[in-house]
């Protein structure tokens, strides 16, 4: 028997006509700032590890769609495919950080700065 562990619900709304334009760098900065809290909320809601990567797409796309346009380095508009890749990367970075690799990196950085 094949069964889904959860359901996916899509909610669509009109974009604010005065939504700002941001750069790729700013989009990534906002993702890294907002995704950890969103991931925590998703976990508290009972979403299991198997479904986390799919669940994080919602909050990540919420960041992407709050802007009228996200500009790439060449001033072209970022596409959804690229946004999804960046959302997945931000999720993976958050997971690595939460699971201890981030604290190990901080420790190495502190040793490096002490050695200098």
| pLDDT tens digit sequence for 11-22 | 777 888 899 999
Say if 112 falls within a structural domain: no
**CA proximity to 9, closest of 53, 43, 75, 54:** 54
Number of domains the chain is built from: 1
50 lies in some domain: yes
Residues in the chain: 116
Domain containing 64 equals 21-99
Report how far residue 20's alpha carbon sits from residue 101's, in angstroms, rounded to the nearest whole number: 35
Query: Does a structural domain hold residue 113?
Result: no
pTM value surpassing 0.85: no
Any domain includes 43? yes
C-beta of residue 32 within 8 angstroms of C-beta of residue 97: no
Query: Looking at the domain assignment, is residue 111 inside a domain?
Result: no
The answer for residues whose C-beta is within 8 angstroms of residue 32's C-beta and 6 or more apart is 90, 93, 94
Residue 6 lies in a domain: no
Q: At 101, is the pLDDT very low, low, confident or very high (cuts 50, 70, 90)?
A: low
Structural domain contains residue 72: yes
Assigned domain for 27 exists: yes
């Amino acid at each position: 028997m094949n069964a889904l562990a959860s359901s996916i619900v899509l909610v669509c709304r009109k974009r604010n006509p005065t939504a700002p334009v941001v750069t790729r760098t700013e989009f990534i900065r906002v993702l890294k700032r907002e995704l950890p809290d969103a991931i925590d909320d998703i976990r508290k809601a009972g979403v299991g590890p198997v479904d986390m990567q799919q669940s994080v797409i919602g909050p990540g796309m919420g960041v992407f769609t709050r802007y009228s346009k996200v500009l790439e380095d060449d001033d072209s508009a970022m596409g959804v495919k690229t946004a999804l890749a960046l959302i997945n990367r931000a999720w993976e970075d958050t997971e690595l950080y939460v699971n201890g690799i981030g604290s190990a990196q901080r420790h190495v950085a502190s040793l490096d700065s002490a050695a200098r």
